[in-house]
Structure 1
Amino acid sequence: MAAKLKKGDKVVVLAGKDKGKEGEISAVMPKANKAIVDGVNIAIRHTRQSAQGQGGRLPKAMPIDLSNLALLDKNGKPTRIGFKVEDGKKVRIAKTTGEAI
């Protein structure tokens, strides 16, 4: 199935402890059906000090399920994503506005 959400998309969280927060997707894991969104689903990770960096309690963005994310359209509202063939190419369409993403 084609990817509905991609790296760089602006999304809003629909469910969970960060419901309503917005962010940009920094990584997508299609096999796990998860994505990492900047500033959302932050966990504290305890790391040991090494030659490369300082140790301590470091915040890290954890993966969130794709079903809990919705793309933001040009008006800043959450929308579902559809597909349409234009000029022989498959493009993503915002269901709220009907425009190509």
Structure 2
Amino acid sequence: MRLTSILLRRVGEWSKKYANLPDRYIERAMTQVYWKTPRGKPNYLPRTIERKRFHFSIHRPWTNNFYKDNAPGTKPLFIHVEPVKDWSFFRGDRVEVLVGKDKGKQGIVKEIYQERNWIIVEGLNTKLKRVMKDKNFPGLYIQQEQPLLITSQVQLVDPSDMQGTAIEWRYREDGERVRISVRTGRVIPIPISAEETIDYKTPKLYREQVKDTTEANVHKVTFMPALKTFEMDIMDEMGIEEDRIPKKYYWY
């Protein structure tokens, strides 16, 4: 991929649609407000002072490790990230590793970190990590997957021949946007697991519950705004006509 520009991903560009959690929860979890203007103060003062730049790694924005990496008073490390116009990797995709000790091996995409153009491939590109170390216990070693850069370290696998290939985004006759293998010209479908969330496996399997607000009630319009005061609205509902002439008043 040709590098057209270099940028730093800032707040508001994290992988919401790949995080498997509601957007509002992620925003609330990673927000760091240092000072907020008290109520009743002049409006020309700044309303809030909060952190705008964050350091992204393999730690999700709602975890304690992410807060430690972006603790108050710390300056985030400036990281150059190559912008990806069309994100082409999703959870459940089969990819082939192009570098490292697992070069040539294939695996399933487990996690996505779009802020750094990283993906985690299940069982590949691992390193040993010691945990549970204590003065009376030497600890245990576990294998932990390390991120891979999508621009140069992995490529998608064509399911027709199970070989790695470059892809292009194209449109079908019905307007659907799909991934096409450059080598074979076949469609590489997006896995169903990419739609899984923490609330339900896929949207198609969700069923409305008794206590849920039905879709018909959500789309029903119950209020039509109008340029009226509350008193004027009540008078119109009761059929009262105003025949008094209001006194002139002026704004200073």
- Same fold judged by TM-score > 0.5? yes
- Whole-angstrom distance in 2 between the partners of 1:7 and 1:70: 14
Mapping 1:1-101, distance limit 5 Å? 1-48=85-132, 56-66=140-150, 67-73=152-158, 74-86=160-172, 87-101=174-188
TM-score by length of 2: 0.36
* TM-score (normalizing by structure 1): 0.86
- The CA RMSD measured in Å over matched residues stands at 1.4
Flag the structure with larger Rg: 2
**Deviant stretches of 4+, over 6 Å:** none
The Cα shift of 1:89 comes to: 2.1
Q: 1:91 Cα deviation (Å)?
A: 1.0
Q: Identity over aligned residues, as a percent?
A: 33
Higher-RCO chain (CA-CA 8 Å, sequence separation at least 6): 1
Question: How many angstroms does 1:31 deviate by?
Answer: 1.2
Matches of 1:38 and 1:21, distance apart in 2:
11
User: Mind listing any 5+ residue stretches in structure 1 that lack a counterpart?
Assistant: 50-54
For residues 20-55 of structure 1, give each alpha carbon's deviation from its aligned partner in whole angstroms, at most 9, with x where no partner exists: 111111111111111100121111111127xxxxx6
Question: Structure 2 unaligned runs (5+)?
Answer: 1-84, 134-138, 189-252
Q: Distance in 1 between matches of 2:90 and 2:167?
A: 12
Which digits, 9 at most, give the CA deviation of each residue in 1:46-91, with x for residues without a partner?
A: 1127xxxxx6211111111112111111201110010111112211
Per-residue deviation at 1:17?
2.2
Q: Which has the higher strand share?
A: 1
Higher helix share: 2
Q: How many residues align?
A: 96
Aligned to 1:52: none
